[in-house]
Structure 1
Amino acid sequence: MINLDKGSKVKLKIVDMTHEGKGVGRTEEGLAVFVDRALVGDTVEAEITKMKKNYAEAKMVEIVEYSKDRIESRCPVSERCGGCELQELKYEKQLEMKEKKVKDALSKLAKVDVEVESIISAEKTENYRNKVNLHIENGDEIKIGYYERGSHSVVDTDSCNINSEVSRKVADLVKDWLEENHIDCVRHIVVRDSKQTGDTMVVIVTAAKKMPMIELLSDLLVEEIPEVKTVVQNINTAGGSSILGPKSRVVYGEGYIYDYVGEHKFKISPETFFQVNTDGMELLYSKVMEYAALDGSECVYDIYCGIGTITLMLAEKAKTVYGVEYVEKSVANAIENAELNNISNVEFYAGKAESVMPDLYRDGRKADVVVIDPPRKGCEKKVLEILVKVEPKKVVYVSCNPSTMARDIAFLVENGYSVQKVQPVDMFPMSSHVEAVALLTK
């Protein structure tokens, strides 16, 4: 019988890691306990924070014996900050964990035996993020940073070794200015950097439609930080976890910056989805192109195409590419990006993929290859059902969530597709997240 309650303390040998980066130990009775910040090889004393029927969650009280893979964190607040989970794990072990995460999802959830290629490591493990969402906690002293693990309390930090140097300068300046001027309506600061041009966009997210002296803050940002080329106010009066609200106004500059993926130029607005690791994105998309193996004769569908980052690369090698995206503003940006890069063999459609794909098929525009890059929740089942009816010869599936990728792959395998190979890519060093590309054929 397991005699544990919330608050109980237990000594555990950590033998595995969860997909979220928590250490896994087992009590003498065999109950799995997930321990925040614990690493494989650690022996820890942990305090139970939550009891479930088949497992428990715990916080670390003390490391009794250190893992040989544990290193000193370069982040002074990594014990509390929820920005990343693996600062204290050797990078080569982070890669092993992420590769295993992909393999486990495919074998246990999709139940397929497939070649998983060795994970592609990141070119940079520090200062790699081109976008930073910083939360603000107003009070006697303003805090700017990421949320504390398991809460919405902000961990104030002077530096972050995964963010850009410019974002640190912006955060420091904004914090000092807000405190000096007693402004308490700012909820978040979003900083976006262009790797290619060095230009920076600052988005000030406010809880009110009007922010006192925002023009003065904008002028100060531009004067003190030369990289800042545009400042935008975004208005988010609703509660919840969404960073950006529905309305924005340009305070300074054009309201956008440009960045590149390979030779392709893209317009980046406050709402634009653009992978946060530019170097990693190029590695990921080159693998997409390798798996697609286009010879110039193909008709390609790019589902969940966003602003066309993958679409335009496909268009360089395919006969025709049709991009499908539900968010109308992203489709408008994609059309603009195609014009910006003088690419004419693409068409973009705003709408649900399960509605657009049948129309394309009925019009005689049958796909030879379909590329899918869904959000973390994976594909809607209707999308997969339509995909099976369209019968492309190849499906290239891009995922930021191995579990939902495995679920969707299982459906495709049940409906006649075979998984040829899968490539994990580390785009998020120091965190437990991993991207993967899968090739399926019929």
Structure 2
Amino acid sequence: MVNRRAFLFRMALFSRVRSLPWRTSQPKGWPWAFLGTACEGTVTDVGTEGEQRERTSWKEESSQNLGFWRERLADQMLPLWRLNYEEQLKVKFESLKKNLETLESRLCKIGAGDPAPTTARSERPCSRLHPFMPSPVIHGYRNKSSFYINRGPDGNPKTVGHYLKSWGGSNVFCVQPSHLKDIPEKHNQVAQCFEAFLQQSTWGLSTDSCKAGPWHELIVRTTFLGHTMAIIIFNPQELSQEELCVQKEEIKEFFSTGPGAVCDLTSLYMKERTPRHQQLTPFQLLTGEPYIFEDILGLKVRISPGAFFQLNTSAAEVLYRTVGELGRVDRNTVIFDFSHGTGATGLSLARQTSQIFSMGLVGQALEDAKWTAAFNGITNWESHPGNMKEIMPQLLESQEDGRSLMALVDPSQCGLSNRVVQDIRNCRAIQTLVFVSCRPYGKSIKNIIKLCQPPDPDENLLGEPFVLRRAMPVDMFPHSLQCELVMLFTR
């Protein structure tokens, strides 16, 4: 069994230059900073070995056995896969703890915390971090996987898998990810069938890395209800409309009546990827149903091909319950939901609340949320694409009725816009804020600082600042370094 100390020693190579040795992208901030600190002083021998590997040519690397590449891919995609689950949660907890200490320091600098050294430890933000809520499912938990198409280590130009760079960083190729612990068998089955289609397809693969070939990406989505959606993203390049139609028919036939029929797809989509500005055209349904559906906490949710939904459905149920419990949601609570996606977080709480105003949903996500509310008989949910000023009369009425107002925030990786931060901060009636973040650093930290800093008329931050009371981590991504952090703020 690999213990935590041995794991951190192995990860020392990564912390040496704050990036993986094959220069893959990674999130900034925690937990790499924690791993680097934990491993400090142990990287000399490992670093020398890494430098030697960087000088190895790609031809020499490609002669390595498949197990070598599979192991490297696992280290890149799921850095904690070598640890048992209990040890994984310990590593994540220490990372979050250091992250909250950084937040505390930054808040003190702007006068939003007590900078005195005598501050009681029980009052510090990092002390308000609760133990992890574990994921009910540890292996094969993903309901959405993305696969790319490129040359494999064996030279096969039509390999479907995940990108990996050579040690020198000059070559990019794909490694089949069937061994990764987070990908379910159904996703691997669709990916393998798609690779079989590519092998027999007359539509070639460009070797020009700038164009990435006509085949770009395969996305597979599944649900607990047994639905499977496949989305093929491609670059039409110089093909005529007639040639494109031929290719679409070939793909449709392959997955409908050919070898790919074993996948039993509920929906098969294609989407063109134009070279200029990397824009995407609308989804094109080739065969099957336009939507798939999921059952979560007794709620039937509709999911469109481009809509966001939590990657781990079982853990999402834990997340939604945690939001309700931490915010003390009851029949006297009015929720302003600023979450992105299909509105599932707010809708899952609808039966417990007085009223839910969903703010900012657009496009497919909005249509999915409307369908979900109507199908489940939810009548106390409303969508408002504008800002909170438009519903201020209803806010004032809620206050007169004695109902409490809560803001629910679950932003995308881009964080909240300044306008949303100002709306929440300046609405004095909102006394409770639940902030959910899968990246509790970067943009999220900047949002939290704005919500907690002293009033600043120059930034239009007029209301009283919020104060962090509790932080509850939910493990949405076993084997990886990420998690969801649910934070309760009051003022």
TM-score normalised over the length of structure 1: 0.80
Note the alpha carbon deviations across 1:45-96, whole angstroms, 9 max, x for none: 34489xxxxxxxx77959xxxxxxxxxxx99613145432222233323212
- Residues 1-12 of structure 1 correspond to what in structure 2 (within 5 A)? none
Give 1:400's aligned residue.
Answer: 438
- CA-to-partner distance for each residue in 1:318-351, whole Å, 9 max, x for gaps? 1110001253321121111111111011101235
Q: Which amino acid aligns with 2:349?
A: L
Aligned position for 2:94: 100
Distance (whole Å) between structure 1 residues aligned to residue 99 and residue 278 of structure 2: 28
Query: In 1, Cα distance between the equivalents of 2:252 and 2:329?
Result: 50
Say if 2:350 is the partner of 1:334. no
> Alpha carbon RMSD of aligned pairs, Å?
3.2
Distance in 2 between residues matched to 1:267 and 1:382, nearest whole Å: 29
Q: 1:217 aligns with which of 254, 261, 266?
A: 254
Q: Which amino acid aligns with 1:177?
A: F
Aligned to 1:359: 390
My pick for the range that moved more, 395-404 or 291-300, is: 291-300
CA contact (8 A) 2:69 2:175 kept: no
Match of 1:233 in 2: 270
Q: Given the superposition, is the C-alpha separation of residues 126 and 364 from structure 1 closer, same or farther in structure 2, using an over 3 Å criterion? A: closer
**Structure 2 residue aligned with 1:137:** 150
Deviates more, 1:266-275 or 1:296-305: 296-305
Distance 2:156 2:164 in 1: 19
Aligned positions of 1:186-335 closer than 5 A: 186-195=215-224, 197-208=225-236, 210=244, 212=247, 213-219=250-256, 220=258, 223-226=261-264, 228-238=265-275, 245-335=280-370
Higher CA-based Rg: 2
Q: Which has the higher strand share?
A: 1
Deviation at 1:234, TM superposition (A): 1.6
Instruction: Give matches, 1:84-163, under 5 Å.
Output: 84-111=78-105, 113-114=124-125, 115-137=128-150, 140-148=156-164, 153-163=173-183
Measured in 2, the distance between the counterparts of 1:432 and 1:60 equals: 27
Quote how far apart the aligned CAs of 1:168 are: 0.9
Q: Give the stretch that moved more between structures: 372-381 or 33-42.
A: 33-42
Higher fraction of helix: 2
TM-aligned CA distance change 1:221 to 1:321, over 3 Å: farther
Secondary structure in structure 2 of the residue aligned to 1:132: strand
SS of 1:409's partner is: helix
* Correspondence 1:434 to 2:483: yes
1:413 matched to 2:452: yes
Shifted more, 282-291 versus 146-155: the winner is 146-155
Cα 1:305/1:360, change in 2 over 3 Å: farther
Residues 193 and 260 in structure 2, CA contact (< 8 A), matched pair in contact too: no
Kept in 1, the 8 Å contact 2:335–2:357? The answer is yes
Aligned length: 395
Distance 2:19 2:346 in 1: 41
Could you tell me whether the CA contact under 8 Å between 1:303 and 1:323 is conserved in 2?
Answer: yes
The one-character-per-residue Cα deviations of 1:205-260 (angstroms, maximum 9, x if unpaired) are 1212726112222313662123x222111222236788xx2311111111211112
Deviation at 1:278?
Answer: 0.6
Paired residue for 2:110?
none
Task: Specify whether residues 295 and 215 from structure 1 end up closer, same or farther in structure 2 by C-alpha distance, changes over 3 A only.
Answer: closer
The one-letter amino acid of 1:45's match is D
Q: 1:291 corresponds to which letter in structure 2? A: L
Conserved 8 A contact 1:160-1:168: no
Partner of 1:165: 185
How far, CA to CA, are the matches of 1:60 and 1:393 in structure 2?
Answer: 57
How much does 1:429 deviate? 1.2
Task: For residue 307 of structure 1, report the CA deviation from its aligned partner.
Answer: 1.2
- Quick one: which amino acid aligns to residue 214 of structure 1? I
- Residue 45 of structure 1 aligns with which residue? 45
Distance in 2 (CA, whole Å) between partners of 1:350 and 1:75 is 50
SS at 2:71 equivalent: coil
Residue type of the partner of 2:273?
N
Query: Once structures 1 and 2 are overlaid, which stretch shifts more, 361-370 or 120-129?
Result: 361-370
2:352 aligned counterpart, secondary structure: coil
Displacement after TM superposition at 1:155 (Å): 2.1
* Contact 2:70-2:179 at 8 Å conserved across structures: no
Alpha-carbon distance in 2 for matches of 1:221, 1:198? 20
Output the CA distance in 2 between the equivalents of 1:249 and 1:35: 38
- Residue of structure 1 equivalent to 2:459: none
Deviant stretches of 4+, over 6 Å: 14-18, 239-242
- Distance of 1:172 and 1:15 partners within structure 2: 35
Change (3 A) 1:169 1:315: same
Shift of 1:146: 1.2
Secondary structure of 2:70's aligned partner: coil
Sequence identity (%): 23
Q: Once the 2 structures are TM-superposed, how far is the Cα of residue 407 of structure 1 from its aligned partner?
A: 3.1
Moved more, 170-179 or 40-49: 40-49
**Post-superposition offset of 1:163:** 0.6
Q: Who is 1:374 aligned against?
A: 411
| Residue number in structure 2 paired with 1:11 | none
Amino acid corresponding to residue 134 of structure 1 in structure 2: F
Q: 1:376 to 1:172 in 2, by over 3 A?
A: same
Distance in structure 2 (CA, Å) of the matches to 1:343 and 1:329: 19
1:119 & 1:60 partners in 2: Cα distance? 39
Could you tell me which runs of 5 or more consecutive residues in structure 1 were left unpaired when the two chains were aligned: 1-13, 27-31, 50-57, 63-73
Distance 1:262 1:221, change over 3 A: farther
